[in-house]
Amino acid sequence: MKQFNVPIIYRSPLISAVKKKRKLEDKMKKDFIPALLDFGPLQVYLARHFGFCYGVENAIDIAFRTIEENPGKRIFLLSEMIHNPQVNADLLQRGVLFLQDTSGRQIIPFESLTDEDVLIIPAFGATLAIEEKLKAQGIAINRYDTTCPFVEKVWNRSFQIAEKAYTVIVHGKPTHEETRATFSRASKAGPSVIVRNMNDAMELGSIILGKRQPADFYTLFAGKYSTGFDVEKDLQHIGVVNQTTMLAADTQAIADFLKKVMIKKYGANEKTLERYFADTRDTLCYATNDNQSALYGLLETEADLAIVVGGYNSSNTSHLVELCEHRLPTYFINDENKIISALEIRHYDIHRAEEINTVGFLPTVSPVRILITGGASCPDALIEGVINKLAGYYPEGKTIAAILEQFTS
């Protein structure tokens, strides 16, 4: 796989050593047993896969190279490079300006850009409408395009099935940058609709099966279907693609459910089903799959609590939090400074969408067993920072240096 030039500030000697050893021991990436960092009174279990994925490393490489190649020029990012506050803060500190926030609200008018300016397209991609507007202003949108190749794979698959007269069902968060970009491409190719979750899929299924009136579609999916969508015609042949950071299991469940709906509607069998339902399993992102599979392996470990590290607006990270919360107390933080003391932690509640403080998060047992993972846009350095902070509360235990030696000797 291609190697990227990622700034050393995001690297971690400890995490790199752990990942390197695991890779040597498990080249096929089939072993999802977590790595144990045994400090004695503190035991940290690290997920088999976590942290920067291919698309994120590619985006960071291009972004920092763009800054180096364009001294003195104004450099703009369409929106956040990735959903990680540290990376975005570093880019802002280096003079990069954001044109939009993550919801697509304008911060700097597109009209203020000139053909002398440099534009970076983030890893999530851009909608066709935005691309066309910027092109019309003479902006070179392809020169520094960091769109993830796996996102582009979903775009291509959407276009392919739309060309074959399937309506594209996009499983994603309607306001997420990636979903907006995917939907714009699918809509250009043919009828498209966004489903947020299984509840949406069930509502769509009820309409397909005639259990709800066709007119209900336009209310239930307001703002989430393509222009000119014809319920009577456009739900006869469908295919499901996804926002790559959604839970792979959820996308598969939605696809399986809608497949059964089409079988029931048309009495299709395995041979005739393809006429009504497109097979799109190849659009699930490898990194999302790996991280989520590794988390399932991590959660098989007996532990006292879990800590998930990443940006609070990171879709893939929030799904990791959801999975952990079903099993044990879980704390979602974006850096080690949110661990205020051995008694108190400030963490993000994904249900209330706000930070809260919890007192007594570390149990008074020995050893304390903590599961740790991070999102696909979380630098390894942040994970090491969290481990360092926790280890500092157990001075009688092994040092980080001693743990590092175990993975390098």
User: What angle do helix axes 198-208 and 248-266 make, rounded to 10 degrees?
Assistant: 10
CA distances from 42 to 307, 331, 395 (A): 14, 17, 10
Whether 159 contacts 144, CB under 8 Å: no
DSSP, collapsed to helix, strand or coil, labels residue 341 as: coil
Q: Which two tokens stand for residue 85?
A: 């506050």
Q: Which helix (H) or strand (E) holds 196?
A: none
> Concatenated DSSP letters for 182-195?
HHHHHHHHS-EEEE
**Other C-beta atoms lying within 10 Å of the C-beta of residue 119:** 23
> Concatenated DSSP letters for 43-60?
EEEE-SS-S--HHHHHHH
Which residue blocks in 70-103 are alpha helix, DSSP H? 85-93
β-strand pairing of 42-46 with 35-38: antiparallel
Task: Say how far apart CA 384 and CA 401 lie, in whole Å.
Answer: 12
Angle at the Cα of 163 from the Cα atoms of 160 and 165, rounded to 5 degrees = 120
Cis peptide before 214 (omega within 30 of 0): no
Spot the catalytic one: 80, 178, 336, 384.
178
**Other C-beta atoms lying within 10 Å of the C-beta of residue 398:** 17
Can 178 be counted among the known catalytic residues?
Answer: yes
Rounded to a whole number of angstroms, the distance between the first and last alpha carbons of the chain is 26
> Tokens 């698959």 belong to which residue?
157
Which residues does the annotation mark as catalytic? Answer: 178
